[in-house]
Amino acid sequence: MNISIHPLGDQALLIDFGEAINEETNQQVRQAAAHLEKQKPDWMIEYIPAFSTLTILYNPYYIAKQLRSQELLPYEWARTKVLDLLSQTSSHHSEGRTIEIPVCYGGEWGPDLSFVASHNSMSEEEVIDAHMKGDYLVYMIGFAPGFPYIGGMDKKIAAPRRDDPRLSIPSGSVGIAGEQTGVYPIETPGGWQLIGRTPLKLFEPDRESPSLLQAGDRIHFKRISEAEYSRLKEEDQ
């Protein structure tokens, strides 16, 4: 495992697994995060996995009590422990879940579908078809509670973020930004190009696992009609 570790402030360190954003690198991040979740070392406060990095927040006061030499910094102690933990990380590849997300495309549910189509010299139907056929992987959860950054979208429907971000985007909105697609789990400001909406609740704080999606999940987008959207929305209330 080719990694580099850097200090991040005085209570955290950043593990960099590589510069490229791809499934192999992200899998290493997920494997390391899974090992940390299993071990739960006393000195660790929290870990935050991303595309190709893993941030670990540590307790400097706990570490200070463990130090035998006053010349050793808490970061140096934590770095040694992290390297030891990473050496124990299994390289076993486990397949993530496959989650189907129903989407009502276009119209009031996807007001930017026409822009994405014209930006790429395509019809709206061609954009929808390409979006449903993507080979999708959830790389990370971030920005807002339960927000999935999903890779694997066909580059031919890539589109820039809006020049004028919206102050309020309805929960369930499916958007495109650059070569990524994502789903807004809660109502929030945002600048992604909205092409549809799902009736699924991606984030519910009262659930045992609040976020419906997790890093490593495979995503399949399924087209539904407005009537199906309304029916599923009512059933999920």
Residues 64 and 138 in one domain: no
Alpha carbons 152 and 179: distance in angstroms, whole number: 8
Token look-up 């979006």 returns 131
Structural domain ending residue among the three candidates 37, 61, 87: 87
Whether 175 and 148 have beta carbons less than 8 Å apart is answered as no
92 in any annotated domain:
no
Residues 216 and 103 in one domain: yes
71 in any annotated domain:
yes
212: enclosing H helix or E strand: none
List Cβ neighbours of 215 (8 Å cut-off, separation of 6 or more): 26, 29, 30, 33, 49, 138, 139, 140, 141
| pLDDT, position 237 | 66
Q: DSSP characters for 7-56?
A: E-TTSEEEEE--SS-SHHHHHHHHHHHHHHHHH--TTEEEEEE-SSEEEE
| pLDDT, position 208 | 87
Alpha carbons 65 and 179: distance in angstroms, whole number: 47
Residues 59 and 172 in one domain: no
Whether 75 and 168 have beta carbons less than 8 Å apart is answered as no
| pLDDT, position 108 | 95
Residues 145 and 32 in one domain: no
- Taking each helix axis from N to C terminus, what angle separates 74-87 and 23-39, rounded to the nearest 10 degrees? 110
Residues 112 and 58 in one domain: no
93 in any annotated domain:
no
Residues 81 and 103 in one domain: no
| pLDDT, position 162 | 96
130 in any annotated domain:
yes
Average pLDDT, consecutive stretches of 10 residues, N- to C-terminus, the chain (237 residues): 89 92 90 92 94 95 82 89 88 77 97 98 98 94 92 96 96 96 96 97 91 93 96 82
Structural domain ending residue among the three candidates 87, 121, 145: 87
Indicate which CATH number applies to the domain containing 55: 3.30.1360.40
61: enclosing H helix or E strand: helix 60-66
- Residue 13 sits in which domain range? 4-87
Residues 69 and 117 in one domain: no
Alpha carbons 131 and 156: distance in angstroms, whole number: 10
Residues 28 and 106 in one domain: no
Would you state the torsion angle of the CA atoms of residues 98, 131, 187, 96, taken in this order, to the nearest 10 degrees?
A: 20
Residues 48 and 111 in one domain: no
Indicate which CATH number applies to the domain containing 143: 2.40.100.10
Structural domain ending residue among the three candidates 87, 122, 155: 87
| pLDDT, position 96 | 74
What pTM was estimated for this model as a whole?
A: 0.84
Residues 64 and 103 in one domain: no
